Amino acid sequence: MQLWNRVDKRILEQHLLASSEKRTTISFYKYHRIEHPEEWRNELYLSLDKLGVLGRIYVAKEGINAQISVPDDQQQAFIDYLYAYPFLNGIRLNYAVDDDGKSFTKLKILVRTKIVADGLNDETFDSSDCGVHLNADEFNALTEKEDTILVDMRNHYESEIGHFENAITPDVDTFREQLPLVVDMLQENKDKNVVMYCTGGIRCEKASAWLKHNGFKNVFQLNGGIIEYARQVEAKVLKNKFKGKNFVFDRRLGEKISHEVIAQCHQCGKPADTHTNCKNEGCHLLFIQCEACTAKYNGCCCEECMKISLLPEEEQRALRKGINPGRKVFKKGRGEQLVFKKSSNEMNVSEIKAE
């Protein structure tokens, strides 16, 4: 019984790109007590693998968090399977806004301590006492009021390429780091309306409860996050207050919500909002790169990495042996080799908007 996909990721990627199969990217989450997450994980893998589902799913005692790709001809079978679980019956599915069907190369289901790493001790507060959920209409109306503070509960590399008008965008690398920072930043505004948003809503479920636990009176959250907001804006023909791209954690690395480009290439400073990972596997740094710099550096973050990426694969493996690229990935575009990005941070150009 095989419960993992051990095929080389490069082979899987080649197969995916060559495939004409139509697929749809879907995300969903649910906080719910799961007594035996390991057993359920194995059951999920066997069932979803048969349906051709690809993607990344985290299972924990507190629930499930999934970002997946489903073959179009298996969508109804997938929904029927999912909804057969009583606690998942009728759960909202977030469908990708800008989807090419090439978001994931394999199915990966992991058992975690938490479905989102928040660093909180859930025994110390009521995590179910979350903020008031807002639809797109309500969100637009409330964020127009002067006594409302709008907070982006995503990381800096996410908000850099796209965010809502007038939102506070904390300069953090992780959600765990952001929670105490936001509480501290807003200490003098506990009586104001605090509206928060994230990609699909899951981070705000815990964050809004944490703010209420810390004495904030009027806490709200965008129901379904940016993804559901974009769907409602289009369906109801509403004003779109989101500018730029929505960062996503799959091969696409972003989906356009509006046509504005509000970020800059990390190498030359030209308007750009396309994230990429450095092609030198020993680096793998996530950064923003324009088309000209992609050609100039062959998809790498600097000339040194470009030289390494052009070496035979065996030589590259020898060079990166014993190196943990995760240390650089964690910086998410803060690499010292990104000259423009480094100088931009020093000049505090986070407020600069590309024309």
Give per-residue pLDDT as tens, 3-43.
Answer: 878 788 889 889 898 999 999 999 999 999 999 999 999 99
Query: Does residue 175 share a domain with residue 99?
Result: no
Domain span at 291: 261-351
The enclosing domain of 140 has a CATH number of 3.40.250.10
**Number of separate domains in the chain:** 3
- For residue 351, what pLDDT is reported? 39
Query: Does residue 215 share a domain with residue 131?
Result: yes
Least confident of 16-20, 203-207, 288-292: 16-20
For residue 348, pLDDT over 50 is answered with no
Q: 78, 111, 144: which is the final residue of a domain?
A: 111
Count CB neighbours of 244 within 10 A: 23
* Helical H segments across the chain, by residue range: 9-18, 37-50, 75-83, 136-142, 156-159, 175-185, 202-213, 225-236, 291-297, 303-309, 313-320, 326-329, 339-347
Query: Does residue 141 share a domain with residue 58?
Result: no
Within-domain flag for 244: no
Confidence of residue 218 (pLDDT cuts 50, 70, 90): very high
Query: Does residue 224 share a domain with residue 161?
Result: yes
Query: Does residue 138 share a domain with residue 107?
Result: no
In tens, the pLDDT along 263-276 reads: 999 999 999 999 99
Within-domain flag for 243: no
Task: Output Rg (C-alpha) for the chain, integer angstroms.
Answer: 21
Q: Which residues contact 249 (CB under 8 A, 6 or more apart)?
A: 56, 67
In tens, the pLDDT along 55-107 reads: 999 999 999 999 999 999 999 999 999 999 999 999 999 999 999 999 999 99
Distance CA 260, CA 281 (A): 31
Q: Which residues of 288-313 are buried (b: 16+ CB within 10 A; e: fewer)?
A: bbbeebbeebebbbbeebbebbeeee
Within-domain flag for 3: no
Average pLDDT over residues 118-131: 94
Within-domain flag for 2: no
Q: 55, 77, 111: which is the final residue of a domain?
A: 111
Query: Does residue 229 share a domain with residue 132?
Result: yes
Q: 85, 111, 137: which is the final residue of a domain?
A: 111
Query: Does residue 281 share a domain with residue 208?
Result: no
For residue 352, pLDDT over 50 is answered with no
CA dihedral sign, ordered 63, 68, 74, 75: positive
Query: Does residue 228 share a domain with residue 132?
Result: yes
Within-domain flag for 278: yes
Phi (first) and psi of residue 158, to 5 degrees: -80, -50
- 198 as an active site residue: the answer is yes
Distance CA 7, CA 180 (A): 40
Phi (first) and psi of residue 55, to 5 degrees: 135, -170
- For residue 8, what pLDDT is reported? 80
Query: Does residue 130 share a domain with residue 107?
Result: no
Query: Does residue 319 share a domain with residue 272?
Result: yes
Q: Choose the catalytic residue: 130, 198, 302, 305.
A: 198
Query: Does residue 271 share a domain with residue 194?
Result: no
Query: Does residue 232 share a domain with residue 159?
Result: yes
Within-domain flag for 273: yes
